[in-house]
Chain A
């Protein structure tokens, strides 16, 4: 009975960190989505230097561990512009995710048949118009399956923001583990919460994938 009471308390305590985890994930994913799509478009349709910049960004960021990006953003960049640890962490994850997402979207853009761009241009659409009304709507739908993979990774990577002091689920589990010296229970509970969240997110994205599937 005592054990059960402790467990309920523990889960309740960890759940208070889900808000932070979800907040970080949401900001990171949307930053990554906007920036990643932009990078992908620039890489495929941009002028040479711009495409080059997008490619270098993606290569560079993907080569650096996410924790390092968090530290750089928090200790170097956030000393210039005032950013809270929460925002620095979330944006750092977002910039990292942008690199991965740009690869996802680049692949998706390239898999839209090139003839569509030519056709759009032939009926008088500008390049920008063709990209935003013809290419991207299809590319984004094609990108849903690999994107849901990225979403799960970002959700779990959100645990990294604890290094700069954002008390999300994992950090809370560490508090409990340090206090009670029972890491197994504390971390299993955290793992269970992560599992449920990832499961729900992926289920949701599966739904979108079916709903917006392109039948070719």
Chain B
């Protein structure tokens, strides 16, 4: 029996040793970019429940604005693109741990996220929208007019943070904030009358409102901090330079504009 417990200790030491070896920093100048080019695939993490940016079509393929964009970037980098779907909340950790090479998920570069990963230059600037029920009498002239009303947001988003930072000091109580895993759940609660306002990114807002008989009360850029960027592992300057280069190129060629029209994104 004594032998067994000492074997356990050995096992633990073994695991720790292996873990220790992982720390070796063996980064050449090109860094992670050369690793990606060597394996010939760029693994792009996304959360495929956010049309028109990313979703899954009936035959099971990943489609959307972000998917088209990263596929084109991959083509120009000379690598295949493999899309990996996971929960939005898990994406930052996934790129930190290099489970995915980059993240493209209509994600904004917030300061909190910047602490953990790096971001490319924005490939798209967007607006936010406040959605209310079809028969709502609520008038929103500025985003701050939403204070004091019950409001729904998607968890882990910039919009959630904006509500906490700006509406809570103005009188929105914590129990008036409803956090949803996905925006369509929030929209359904607005249409059911459980929540007065849904505060989300403007792009899916109009379609969502039309589908459920809701109305968009306000579209604004006052609440937006930055555009949507591609997230990549921290400190990989060469990879960032490559992504930035192609985003600029695609912007200048009008490719991004075409994609916006294709997917109906303002």
Contact = CB atoms under 8 A, between A and B. Distances in A.
Interface footprint category on B = 35 or more
A213 to B, nearest CB: 34
B146 to A, nearest CB: 24
A79 B19 CA distance: 9
B90 A163 contact: yes
Interface string B91-104: 00110111100000
Interface residues of A, number: 29
19 contacts: A9-B58, A46-B4, A47-B1, A50-B1, A53-B8, A74-B99, A80-B18, A164-B87, A165-B90, A178-B50, A178-B55, A178-B182, A178-B184, A179-B55, A179-B56, A181-B184, A181-B212, A183-B184, A183-B185
Nearest to B91: A165
B106 to A, nearest CB: 13
B51 A178 contact: yes
Contacts of A174: 49, 182
A75 B185 CA distance: 28
The dominant DSSP class at the A interface is helix
A207 B252 CA distance: 68
Interface in A82-139: 85
A208 interface: no
A181 B184 CA distance: 7
A171 B15 CA distance: 33
A215 to B, nearest CB: 35
Contacts of B185: 183
A13 interface: yes
Given A174-B49, A179-B55, A75 B94 contact: yes
A141 B182 CA distance: 44
B208 interface: yes
